[in-house]
A and B are shown apart, each in its own frame.
Chain A
Amino acid sequence: MYDFHNIALTPTQSLLLNIAILSVIVFAVLRSERRLDDSNPLLMLGILAIFGISGRILLDPLPNFQPVTVIVILAGVYYGAPRAIALAGVIALTTNFVVLGHGPWTLFQVLGWGLVGASGAYFSDYILKEGQLMLNRLAALAIISAFVFNWIVSLSILLKTDASMLAPYLINGLLFDLYHAAGNLIFVAWLATPLSEIMTKHLDTSSSKAVSEPVSSTL
Chain B
Amino acid sequence: MSKIPMSNELKPISVIAVIALILLAPSIRDALREEAATYVSDSESSHDGLPESWNNSQVMCVMFPSDTPHPKFNSGVTMIESDGSTYGANSEFNGTGVCVGGFTGFTEGMTFFLNSTNATNGDLDVSYDVTEWGPYVHTIGGLNANELTGNFSGAYWELLHNGEISMVGIGDLIMSEGDVLLWRIATW
Interface hits, A23-77 → B, CB 8 Å: none
Cβ-closest chain B residue relative to A161: B165
Instruction: Answer whether residue A164 sits at the interface, using C-beta atoms and an 8 A cutoff.
Output: yes
Contact, CB under 8 Å: B36 / A168: yes
Q: How many A-B residue pairs have CB under 8 A?
A: 75
Complex CA gap A174/B10 in Å reads: 23
Complex CA gap A103/B154 in Å reads: 14
Task: Given A132-B4, A161-B165, A171-B35, check contact A178 B10 (CB 8 Å).
Answer: no
Of the four ranges (under 10, 10 to 19, 20 to 34, 35 or more), the interface on chain B belongs to 20 to 34
Contact of B13 among A132, A171, A185 (CB under 8 A): A185
Q: Label chain A's interface by main secondary structure.
A: helix
Instruction: Chain A residues near B14: list those with CB within 8 A.
Output: 182, 185-186, 188-190
Which of A81-89, A109-117, A133-141, A206-214 is the contact stretch? Answer: A133-141
Task: Given A168-B37, A188-B10, check contact A178 B15 (CB 8 Å).
Answer: no
- Per-residue A-contact encoding for B1-29, CB less than 8 Å = 1, 0 else: 10110110011011101100100010011
Contact, CB under 8 Å: A175 / B7: no
Cβ-closest chain A residue relative to B34: A171
Cβ-closest chain B residue relative to A170: B36
Instruction: Chain A residues near B32: list those with CB within 8 A.
Output: 171-172, 174-175
Contact, CB under 8 Å: B40 / A11: no
Contact, CB under 8 Å: B25 / A175: yes
Contact, CB under 8 Å: A136 / B10: yes
Complex CA gap A185/B37 in Å reads: 30
Instruction: Chain B residues near A169: list those with CB within 8 A.
Output: 36, 167
Closest 10 CB pairs of A and B: A189-B14, A168-B36, A171-B36, A189-B10, A168-B39, A185-B14, A135-B6, A189-B11, A186-B14, A172-B36
Contact, CB under 8 Å: B21 / A168: no
Of the four ranges (under 10, 10 to 19, 20 to 34, 35 or more), the interface on chain A belongs to 20 to 34
Contact, CB under 8 Å: B39 / A171: yes
Interface hits, B36-63 → A, CB 8 Å: 36-37, 39-41
Contact, CB under 8 Å: B36 / A193: no
A136-B6, A189-B7, A189-B10 provided; 6 other pairs, C-beta below 8 A?
A132-B4, A168-B36, A172-B32, A172-B33, A186-B18, A189-B13
How far does the Cβ of B35 sit from chain A's closest Cβ, in whole Å? 5
Instruction: Answer whether residue A160 sits at the interface, using C-beta atoms and an 8 A cutoff.
Output: yes
Instruction: Chain B residues near A175: list those with CB within 8 A.
Output: 25, 28-29, 32
Contact, CB under 8 Å: B1 / A185: no
Contact, CB under 8 Å: A165 / B18: no
